[in-house]
Amino acid sequence: MIEKEIFHSVRLDEEKCKGCTHCIRRCPTEAIRVKKGKARIDEKRCVDCGECIRICPNHAKYAQADSLEAIKKFPYAIALPAPAFYAQFKVDISLGKILQGLLHLGFREVFEVARGAEILAEEINHYLEKREIATPVISSACPAVVRLIEVRFPSLIENLLPLDSPLGVVAKLARMQAMEKGYRPEEIGVFFITPCPAKVTESKQSKNGLGRIDGAISIANVYSQLINIVGELEEPPSLPLASFRGIGWARSGGEQESLEEGEYMAVDGIHQVISVLEKIEMGELKNVIYCEAQACVGGCIGGVLAVQNPFIAKVNINHLLKKYAEFRPIKEEEIKKWREKGIFKREEIYRAKEVLKLDKDFKRALEKYQMIEKLLEKLPGLDCGACGSPTCRALAEDIVRGKAEEIDCPFMLRDRLLNLSKEINALASKVPQTMAKRTRRSEKF
C-alpha cells in the first residue's frame, strides 16, 4: 500500500545520465537535484508531468510502463485506449481498424476512454448545475495537474472537481460489464493505453476493487506493434462507440466542448497551467465556471508516450471529429444507476502535500526563511545550476534544509579558496619568534 503511494512512473537511467542540468531547471515543482553527478528525483515533489523526459538530451529519463506481455496473465484482458491513441494514425486508417487492432494484439475487449469521457461529461454537467463548489471548478482529468495542485496549490484543492477522471470511470464500467458477462474479478485484466507517465502513475495507484487498473501500456509501444498490420485488418461492423464529444478530449479544449454552454476555459502546458492557477488563487477568474487544465502542450496528444507530433495529431483528431459527428445519447436512468453504484466517485481524496513547508515548527520555519534570504545575498544569483539545485534560491533552501552546503556553489567555493590562499600567504610571510630575532639582528647590523 505504502509502496503504491510513492510509486512514480518517471524514472532515471543512471548510465545515460550525464549529470547536466537541463531537467532540474525545467521541473515545475523543483523536484530534481544533481547529486554526485546524477539526477535525483524527489518522489514527494514529483508530479509525473514528464517535462524532464521531454527535455533530457541524453534520454536518461523514461516512463516506466507495462509491456504487452502483462495482458497474458488475464484470461479476459480489456484495452482502454486513450482518445489520444486514435490521433497517432493517419486519417486513412479507420477508427474501427485501430480498435480491431487491439483485439488482434490479444485483448478480448475494447472499452473506449472517449466513450467514458462522454458519459463523464453528462455527470459534470449535472454537477455544475448544483453549484456547490468554489469556482472555477478545476478539471480532475489530468493527474499531473491534480498532483501539481496538491503539491504547489493546496488552497485550490477545494476547487478540484470531486469526480473521477474519464480513465477511472471507464475502468469501473469496463470491469462491471465484464462481470455482468460472467467473468470473475480475478479473470479480468483492465489495461490503459496511455499517452503519459502521469496516467501510468494514476493506474498504478488505483485501488483494488471495481476501479482497479491492472496495467498501463504506452501508446508508443502499442503503436509500434500495430502500425505494420493495422491497414490489412478487416473493418469490424460496429466497434467504435464514441463520437466527437469524447474523442475531442484527446486535445486541449475537448472537455469544455463536450459540456453544456457556459463560461469555460482551457489551458495547456504545465507552465501556463501554473500561471493560470496562480491567478485563480489570487481571486481572478471567479466568473469562469469550469477550467480545463492539461499539463502537456496541446493536451493529451502532447503526452511524452505518444509518437506523433502533437500538432499533426491534432489534424488527425480534427478529421475524426468530423467523421464521428453523431453522438449516441446516454440515457438519464443509466447515468443515475451508475451514480448510485459509485462509478463517478473519486476513489482517492485530494490531499495537500506539505512539501514546501520549511519546518514543522512555525518559528523555526520563519527563521529558516530568513536564513534563505541572507544566503541569497551571498549567492551569485546566476541560477546556473552548477551546484545541482535549479536556482540560487533552491540551493539556499536546500542548505537550510540540511541537504546541501554553501560550497556546493562553485562561486562560494572559489571565494573560500581565495580567502584560504590569502590566509596561507599571510601565514607564510610570518616568521617564528626565534627566527625573527635573528633576522632582525642581521638587518640591524
For the chain, how far is it from start to end, CA to CA, in angstroms?
87
d(CA 66, CA 162): 28
Q: What's the min distance (Å) between Cβ of 375 and another protein?
A: 14
8 Å CB contact between 173 and 111: yes
| Residue 410: count of CB within 10 angstroms of its CB | 12
Provide the grid cell at 184. 470473475
Q: According to the binding rule CB under 8 A, does residue 365 interact with another protein?
A: yes
Residue in 13, 257, 260, 281 binding another protein, rule: CB under 8 A: 281
Q: Which of 363, 430, 441, 444 binds another protein (CB under 8 A)?
A: 363
Least Å distance, CB 279 to another protein, is 8
Q: Is 416 left (phi over 0), alpha (psi -120 to 50) or beta?
A: alpha
One of 75, 362, 374, 410 touching another protein (CB under 8 A): 362
Q: Does residue 385 come out as left (phi exceeding 0), alpha (psi in the -120 to 50 range) or beta?
A: left
327 binds another protein (CB under 8 A): no
- Establish if 284 lies at the interface with another protein (CB under 8 A): yes
Does 354 interact with another protein (rule: CB under 8 A)? yes
> x/- string (CB under 8 A) for another protein, residues 152-191?
--xx-x----------------------------------
Span from 140-148, 221-229, 294-302, 348-356 in contact with another protein (CB under 8 A): 348-356
DSSP structural state of residue 42: -
* Residue of 286, 295, 297 lying closest to 263 (CA atoms): 286
For position 283 contacting another protein by CB under 8 A, the verdict is yes
Over its C-alpha atoms, the chain yields an Rg (Å, rounded) of 28
82: left (phi over 0), alpha (psi -120 to 50) or beta: beta
Backbone φ, ψ for residue 33 (5° rounding): -130, 150
Shortest reach from residue 392's CB to another protein, in Å: 15
Minimum separation from the CB atom of position 159 to another protein (A): 10
Length of the chain: 445
Tell me how far apart the alpha carbons of residues 170 and 168 are, in angstroms, rounded to a whole number: 6
Q: Which of 186, 235, 278, 334 binds another protein (CB under 8 A)?
A: 278
- Does 356 contact another protein by CB under 8 A? yes
Q: Quick one: which of 176, 358, 376, 384 contacts another protein (CB under 8 A)?
A: 358
- d(CA 8, CA 46) in angstroms, rounded, equals 8
Cα separations (Å) of 112 from 86, 240, 367? 10, 8, 53
Binding of another protein by 279 (CB under 8 A): yes
Question: Considering beta carbons, is residue 2 or 282 the nearer one to another protein?
Answer: 282
Distance (Å, whole) CA 86 – CA 442: 95
CB nearer to another protein: give 291 or 296: 291
Choices 89-97, 184-192, 282-290, 340-348; region in contact with another protein by CB under 8 A: 282-290
Q: Pick the stretch among 21-29, 315-323, 356-364, 408-416 that binds another protein (CB under 8 A).
A: 356-364
Question: For binding to another protein (CB under 8 A), which residues are involved?
Answer: 154-155, 157, 278-279, 281-284, 352, 354, 356-360, 362-363, 365-366, 369-370
